[in-house]
Amino acid sequence: MKKEVHEQYEYARKRIRQKKTLYFHFVLFSLGSLFLFVANRFFGFSIGTEQNWCVWIITVWFFIFILHFIKIYITDRFMNKKWEREQIDRLIALQQKRISQLESSMNDHPENKI
């Protein structure tokens, strides 16, 4: 298998794994929220004097799920291997430009001439 094809395959495999864990997280969130709501409303489980404790837990869990969603569909989508390669190439080009500037300034300096 060619290197590029292998990289594309690995990237696709990684993205599918990420999406699969996100979907699992969503199902777990949905079932867990339902369980917490039922436990609070119908079975009367309460924490101290707080009657709607499940709302707070579900809200925090939903916030964590939203962060997971943002990471998978926004951050990782745009900052992938291609973006990394472009950034590395850009930084290497800047470093080489700076090195050539330093070398030319050293060659032009009168103390370095014999």
pLDDT by residue for the chain (114 residues), tens only, comes to 687 788 888 888 988 999 999 999 999 999 999 998 888 888 776 666 667 788 889 999 999 999 999 998 888 777 777 788 888 989 999 999 999 998 888 887 666 655
Backbone angles phi, psi at 46, to 5 degrees: -140, 155
Are the C-beta atoms of 42 and 54 separated by less than 8 Å? no
| DSSP secondary structure code for residue 75 in this structure | I
Say if pTM beats, i.e. exceeds, 0.75: no
3-state secondary structure of 50: strand
| Token pair recorded at residue 53 | 């404790």
